[in-house]
Amino acid sequence: MEIPYTVHPRPDTGVTNAKVGIWLFLASEIMLFGGLFSAYIFLRMGAPEWPGTTMSGHYYASASDILSVPLAALNTVILIASSVTIVLAWASLMTNNFSKYRIYMGLTILMSFGFLIVKSIEYSTKFEHGLFPSESTFLAIYFVMTGLHAIHVIGGIVVNAYLLGPGAKMWKTNPTQYTNRIEVAGLYWHFVDIVWIFLFPTIYLI
Amino acid sequence: MTNTTEHDHHHELSFIRKWIFSTDHKVIGIQYGLTALFFLLFGFCLMLLMRWQLAYPGDPVPIIGWLFSDETMPGGVMLPEFYNQLGAMHGTIMVFLGVVPLAVGAFGNYIVPLQIGAPDMAFPKLNMASYWVYFIGGVVMLSSFLVPAGAAKAGWTSYPPLADIETMGQTMWLIGMFFLITSSLLGAVNFLTTIIQLRTEGMTYMRMPFFTWVQFVTAFLLLLAFPPLEAAAVLQLADRLIDTSFFLPSGLVVSGEILEVSGGGSPLLWQHLFWFLAHPEVYVLILPAMGIVCEIIANNTRKPLWGYKLMVQSLVFLGVMSFVVWAHHMFITGMGTGLSTFFQITTMIISVPSVVILSGMFLSLWGASIRFTTPMLFALAFLPMFGIGGLTGLPLGLAPTDIPLHDTMYIIGHFHYIVAPGTIMALMAGIYYWFPKVTGRYMNDILGKIHFWGTLIFMNGIFMPMFIQGLAGVSRRLYDGGQTYEFASEVIKYNEFMSQSAFLLAIFQLPFIVNFFWSIWKGKKVDDDNPWKATTLEWSATPTPPLAHGNFETTPVVYRGPYEYSVPGEESDYLPQNQP
Amino acid sequence: MSEAHSAEEVQKHVRMYMYIFGTLLVMTAVTVAVSYLNLSIVPALVVALVVATFKGTLVARYFMHLSGEKPIIFQFLILTAVFLVFMFILFIWALSDQRGVASYVS
C-alpha cells in the first residue's frame, strides 16, 4: 500500500500531507521566533537604557547609531524580491513553463546569497569596531536573532538549490508533486521573509 | 508516485535497510522502544548510585565502586560534584531519553498508524530521521560524562546563572538537547499529519481510540511548547560560548569576585522559557500513559470506556490549559501577587479535566467482570498511583503551601508519583499489552505478576517516605541527604529504607528483563490475530504481527466507535471497529 | 491551491503579486522614513509594528496563499497565535509583577 494524499489533496481536509506538514512546521517556527521575541521584550523592558550605555568605549543613543539602517533596508528589499521570485517560480510551473521556472528559482537563490553577503558585511563592520555580542545585551540580541534568521536563510538556500538541481528530475516523472514541493518550499521561504519583516523594525529602527 | 511498478516488487530489503535505516513505522517504533528502555535502565542505575549515597553517605559503593575514576568516586566514595552530575543526568535521561521516546516514539509510532488504518506514517523518511536524531542526542548526552569535569551538574532544569558558568558538560547538555528537540519536533509534525490526513474511511475524530487522541494532543504540545526551550537553549549556548549575558545579571559575584560580563540579563527569563516547555512536557509524560491505560481498561473490563466523549473534551481542554500554568513552578522566585494569583487559578482549573479523566477510568471499572491479566494489573495500579501524585500536587499549585514545600523532598515525591509509579506503570502495562502484537508471542504471565507486585510495593517504598521527609523540611538537593541538619534527624533515617526499596525494585526488574528477551523467541504463541479480543483496528484488521509492508492487506473501513464491548443483543462480547 | 488552476487564473495571480511587491517596497520606504523622524518610543513602536504587521499580512495572504486556504490551516495558525499571544502577555506581566527585578537591572 502506498501512502495516500502525497500528490492529491485529501477530500475532507482539502490539502495534501506536505501542506499540513509544512504549516505545522511553520507553527513551531512561529513559537521559536516567538520565544526569542519574548526574550527580547523581557530583557528590553528590564533594561534601564536601550541600546545601552557605552559599548567598546562609545556612547550610542539609539539602535540606528550602532546598526546600519540602509544595509538592513537593502536586505529587506532583497528578501521581499526573492519572495516574489519564488512565488513566480511556482506560478511558472503552474503554467507548465519549466525554463521560466528555472530562471526565477535561480534568481531566488542568487538573492538569498546576496542577503547573506550584505549580512556578513554588516557583521564584519561591527567586529571591526569592537562591537561583539559580549559587549551588551542589545548586541547579544542583535547577533543571536539575526544569526538564527541567517541560519534559516541558509536552510532555505539548501532546499531551493536541491529542488532546482537534483530534485528537478521529478518534474519529468511527477509534475504535480514537484509543483507542490515548490509551493511548500515557497511557504517556508515566505516565512523567513516575514520573520525578517518583523526583525528589521524591532531591532534596527526602534 | 505515478510509476509504482518498481515499488510493488517486494524485493527483500537488506538487513541494514530493514532493521537499521528502516522507514517502516513499526521497525522505527521498535528501535525507539529498545533505545528508550536502555536509557530508562541507565537512568535507573544513576538513581541507584544516588540512593546509595543518600542512605550511606561517605561509605564506598560496594562491588562496583572500583569501576569509577578518581574524579567521580575515589575509592568508591562519591564526590559531591559527581552526585550533582547523577542528579542532573538522571532527570534529563528519564524525561527526554526514556519516558517520552518510549511513550511517544515507540508506542505512538507503532500503534497510531495501525489504530487509524494507515499504511505508515505520513512522512516515513522524516520518521527515520527523527529516530536517528534522537539517537545522536542520546549519544551526546552519554558522552558528556567523559568530557573534562564530567556531565552537566546544574539539574535537569539547567537554571542559570549556575548553568551559565558550569563546566563543559553543560555545553554538551545543550547540544544534546538541540538534537532531542529537533527529533521531537520532526516527530510531532509527523504524528499530527498522520492523524489528520491518513485516517481511513469511516475513522472520524470521535471514532478514534483514546490512545490516538492522546497522541494527537501530545504532538500538539511537543510542537508548540518545545520551540521556546530551543530559543532558550540558543541563548544559554550563546552565554556560554560567545560570552553574552542573556541570563547573567549585572554585578554577579562568583567565588568572591565580580564576573567580567556585560550583565543586564535575567536568570528568570530562562525559568520562564524553560517552564513554558516543561509544564506541557509534564503532560507529554502523563497523557500517553492515560491513553494506554484507557485502552487496556476498556479491553479487560469488556465494557465501553465511561464517558469517552467527555474524556476527549477534557483531554483537549487539558492540552490547551497546560500552556498557561507554567509559572506555578516559580512561586518561590518572588513573583508578585497578581501574577501568582493568575497562575494559581489556572493551576486549579487544569486539575479539573485531569480529575475528569481519572474518574472516567475509575467509573469504567464499575460493574465490570475484570480480566486480571498482567497488563490490566499494571493499568489498575496506575489509577491510585496517579491519584496520589495528582492530589499531592494540589498544595504545590497554591503559593502559600508551595513556598515552604518547594525545595523539599515533598516535591520529589509528588512528581515521581506521577512519572514513576504513574507513567512507568502504564508504560509497562503497554509493553505487556502490545507485546503479542509486535512479536506474535505472549510475555510470561507468572514472571509478569512477580514483576508487577515487586514493582508496585517497592516503588511506594521509595517515594512514600519522601512526603514525610519533605513535610519535615528536608531539602531535595543535599548530597548527604541532610545528615548535618538537626531538624531532619527524625526523618533522615527513612533514607536507608527508601534506598533498600530502590535496590529491591532493581532486583524485581530482572524478571521483566528476562521475560522480555525470553518471550521474543520462546514465549507462548498467540492463538489468533486478536488474542485480547479487542475492538480497535490494530488488533482486528491486521495479522499479528502486522504485515511488514503497508500494514493492511486491504484498507480497512470503520463502521463504529472504538469501544463497543458487550453490546446488548450481540452474540460476541466485542464488535471490532471494522465490522460492518 | 493546487490542481484546478487555469493558466489565465495564474496570470491574474502574477499581476497581483506585482502589486503586492510594489506595496511592500513602499511600506519598507515608509517605515525607514518614519525612523528618521526620531519619534519617541511609543509612537515609533506603534508605527513600526503596524507597518510590519501589514507587510507580514500581505505576504501571508497573497504569497503564502492564505486567502482561500483550507480551514484546517487556519485552525493551526489560530491555535499557535493564541499561545503566542499568551506567551507575550504573560512574559510582560511576569516582568512587571516581579519582586526584586530592580536589583537585577540596576
Q: Would you say residue B7 has pLDDT above 50?
A: no
Residues of B in contact with A25 (CB under 8 A): 185, 189
What domains appear along chain A, each with residue ranges and CATH number?
Answer: 17-56+68-205 (1.20.120.80)
Rounded to a whole number of angstroms, the distance from the CA of B333 to the nearest CA of chain C is: 8
Report how far residue B296's alpha carbon sits from residue B305's, in angstroms, rounded to the nearest whole number. Answer: 10
Pick A35's closest partner by Cβ from B2, B228, B245. B228
Q: Which chains touch B (3 or more CB pairs under 8 A)?
A: A, C
Q: How far apart are CA B335 and CA C91, in angstroms?
A: 12
Q: In this structure, which amino acid lies at residue B257?
A: E
Of B250, B324, B334, the CB nearest to C98: B334
Residue with cell 506538514: A21
From the list A15, A29, A136, the residue facing B262 with the nearest CB is: A136
* B271-310 pLDDT tens trace: 999 999 999 999 999 999 999 999 999 999 999 999 999 9
- In B56-123, alpha helices (H): 80-92, 100, 109-116
Does B266 reach chain C within 8 Å, measured CB to CB? yes
Spans of all domains in chain B: 28-249+263-540
What does DSSP say about strands B257-258 and B253-254: parallel, antiparallel, or unpaired? antiparallel
Catalogue the long-range contacts made by B453-458 (C-beta closer than 8 Å, 24 or more residues apart). Answer: B454/B504, B454/B505, B454/B507, B454/B508, B454/B511, B455/B425, B455/B428, B455/B505, B455/B508, B455/B509, B456/B381, B456/B421, B456/B425, B458/B501, B458/B502, B458/B504, B458/B505, B458/B508
Give the lowest-confidence range in B271-275, B411-415, B551-555, C3-7. C3-7
Contact between A183 and C3 using a beta-carbon 8 Å cutoff: no
**Contact yes or no for B339 and C98 at CB 8 A:** yes
Asked if C88 and A37 come within 8 Å (Cβ–Cβ), the reply is yes
Q: What is the pLDDT of residue A53?
A: 67
Does A52 contact chain B (CB < 8 Å)?
yes
Nearest to C94 among B249, B264, B339 (CB): B339
Nearest to A20 by CA among B218, C74, B110: C74
Residue pLDDT, tens place only, B189-199:
999 999 999 99
CB contact C8 to A (< 8 Å):
no
A contact chains, 3+ CB pairs < 8 A: B, C
Do the chains contact at A179 and C2, CB–CB below 8 Å?
A: yes
Question: Any idea which of B148-152, B506-510, B513-517 has the lowest mean pLDDT?
Answer: B148-152
Instruction: Report the run of H or E that residue B456 belongs to, with start and end.
Output: helix B445-471
All residues at 6 or more sequence positions from A148 whose CB lies less than 8 Å from its CB, including other chains: A33, A36, B234
Longest dimension (CA), chain B: 81
Residue C97 to residue B398: CA distance in whole angstroms: 17
- Residue B496 at interface with chain A, using a CB cutoff of 8 Å: no
Interface of B with C in 271-330 (CB under 8 A): 272, 276, 323-324, 327
Which residue, among A156, A160, A158, A146, has the nearest Cα to A76 in the 3D structure?
A146
Query: Could you give the CA distance from residue B371 to residue B332 in angstroms, rounded to a whole number?
Result: 47
- Output the nine-digit C-alpha cell for B537: 483496528
How far from C98 is each of B326, B330, B332, C92, CA to CA, in Å? 15, 11, 11, 10
Surface-to-core class of residue B322, CB atoms within 10 Å of its CB (0-12 exposed, 13-18 middle, 19+ buried): buried
Is the confidence at residue B8, as pLDDT, over 50? no
Q: CA-to-CA distance for B232 and B226, rounded, in angstroms?
A: 10
The rounded percent of chain A whose pLDDT value lies above 90 is: 85
Q: pLDDT band for position B16 (50/70/90)?
A: confident
Q: Which CATH number applies to B28-249+263-540: 3.40.50.970, 3.40.50.1970, 3.90.1170.40, 1.20.210.10?
A: 1.20.210.10
Rounded to 5 degrees, φ, ψ at B167 are -75, -175
In contact, B333 and B268? CB cutoff 8 Å? yes
| B236-279: pLDDT as tens digits | 999 999 999 999 998 899 989 998 888 889 999 999 999 999 99
- The half-sphere exposure of B285 on its side-chain side, counting CA atoms within 13 A, is 26
Q: Hey, is the C-beta of B244 within 8 angstroms of any chain A C-beta?
A: yes
Closest partner CB to C35 (pick from A69, A179, A183): A69
Q: How confident is the model at residue C100 (pLDDT cuts 50, 70, 90)?
A: low
Is B197 in contact with A5 (Cβ distance < 8 A)?
A: yes
C45 touches chain A (CB under 8 A): yes
Rounded to an integer, what distance in angstroms lies between the CA atom of residue B331 and that of residue B275? 12
Q: Are B251 and C106 a contacting pair at CB < 8 A? A: yes
Helix, strand, or coil (residue B220): helix
Closest CB to C99: pick one of B272, B276, B334. B334
Q: How confident is the model at residue B480 (pLDDT cuts 50, 70, 90)?
A: confident
* Helix ranges (DSSP H) in chain A: 17-46, 63-66, 69-94, 98-128, 137-164, 170-173, 175-199
Contacts of A45 in chain C (CB under 8 A): 92, 95-96
CB A92 within 8 A of CB A101: yes
Please give the residue of chain B at the shortest CA–CA distance from A55: B262
| Adjacent-strand bridge partners of B551 | B547
CA–CA–CA angle B255, B260, B265 (5° rounding): 95
Q: Report yes or no: B405 and B332 within 8 Å, Cβ to Cβ.
A: no
Partners of C94 on chain B (C-beta within 8 Å) are 268, 272, 327, 335, 339
Q: Rounded mean pLDDT of A196-202?
A: 96
Gap from A120 CA to chain B (nearest CA, Å): 17
